[in-house]
């Protein structure tokens, strides 16, 4: 019987796709083998990307309503209204 050894093995993340998180509507981040640096204008989503990564890797249960992209709030409101009115199956999810 062959035995597998994981000693010294590393898992590497090559890229991450973030959708509908804070300011990030749809973002693809490629990671370098050694170092990746986020550079951008103020209020462009650098911190949001880091927070999304932290939530995913460290504490996934910390997501909150404010983390959802504001552009999707009207859809969420419509789903909530339909649910309250007993018509949850009739909401257009587009």
Residue 83 has what pLDDT? 84
> Considering the domain boundaries, does residue 52 fall inside one?
yes
Q: Is residue 63 part of a domain?
A: yes
The structural domain count of the chain equals 1
Torsion angle defined by CA atoms of residues 76, 58, 16 and 19, in that order, rounded to the nearest 10 degrees: 10
pTM of the model: 0.59
Check residue 59 and give its pLDDT. Answer: 82
pLDDT of residue 88: 57
Q: The tokens of 76 are what?
A: 């969420």
Angle CA(79)–CA(22)–CA(57) in degrees, nearest 5? 105
Name the residue range of residue 24's domain: 15-69
Question: 38 lies in a domain?
Answer: yes
* pLDDT grade for 91, boundaries at 50, 70 and 90: low
- Residue 5 pLDDT: 62
Helix, strand, coil abundance in the chain, percent, nearest 5 = 40, 15, 45
């Amino acid at each position: 019987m062959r035995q597998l050894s994981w000693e010294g093995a590393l898992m590497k993340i090559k890229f991450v796709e973030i959708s509908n998180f804070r300011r990030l509507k749809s973002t693809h981040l490629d990671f370098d083998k050694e170092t990746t640096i986020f550079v951008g204008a103020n209020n462009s989503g650098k911190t949001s990307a880091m927070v999304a990564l932290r939530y995913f890797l460290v504490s996934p249960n910390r997501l909150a309503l404010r983390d959802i992209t504001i552009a999707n709030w009207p859809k969420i409101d419509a789903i909530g209204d339909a649910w309250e009115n007993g018509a949850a199956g009739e909401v257009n999810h587009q």
